């Protein structure tokens, strides 16, 4: 996923497609986080903790990208004349 992507530069159709893609990325990252959390609970060691923290950071990053995309979509919808 391109992290420096500017959602404002996308067409409305492209923006909606990117939102769907980012939503899937969030779902995958969440699942990975839960797997890493379970591994850490079973074996609480530095390696599993590092994996858990890295995965948590990824989830937060992907959620922030999703929020950014939703804000762009809402902004466009609010700007549309009725």
For residue range 66-76, list pLDDT tens digits in order. Answer: 999 999 999 99
The CATH T-level fold of domain 9-79 is Methane Monooxygenase Hydroxylase; Chain G, domain 1 (1.20.58)
Q: pLDDT, tens digit, for every residue of 6-65?
A: 899 999 999 999 999 999 999 999 999 999 999 999 999 999 999 999 999 999 999 999
Residue 2: what pLDDT? 46
**Residue 81: pLDDT above 70?**
yes
Q: What's the rounded Cα separation, in Å, for the pair 41 and 34? A: 10
For the entire predicted model, the pTM comes to: 0.83
Cα distances (Å, whole numbers) of residue 49 to 41, 46, 68, 76, 82: 9, 5, 29, 41, 51
Residue 1: what pLDDT? 45
Q: Among the residues of the chain, which ranges form H helices?
A: 12-42, 46-79
């Amino acid at each position: 996923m391109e992290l420096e992507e500017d959602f404002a530069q996308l067409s409305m159709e492209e923006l909606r497609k990117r939102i769907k893609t980012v939503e899937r990325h969030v779902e995958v990252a969440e699942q990975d986080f839960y797997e890493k959390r379970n591994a850490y609970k079973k074996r609480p060691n530095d390696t599993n903790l590092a994996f858990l923290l890295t995965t948590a950071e990824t989830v937060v990053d992907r959620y922030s990208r999703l929020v950014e995309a939703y804000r762009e979509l809402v902004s466009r919808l609010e700007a549309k004349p009725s």
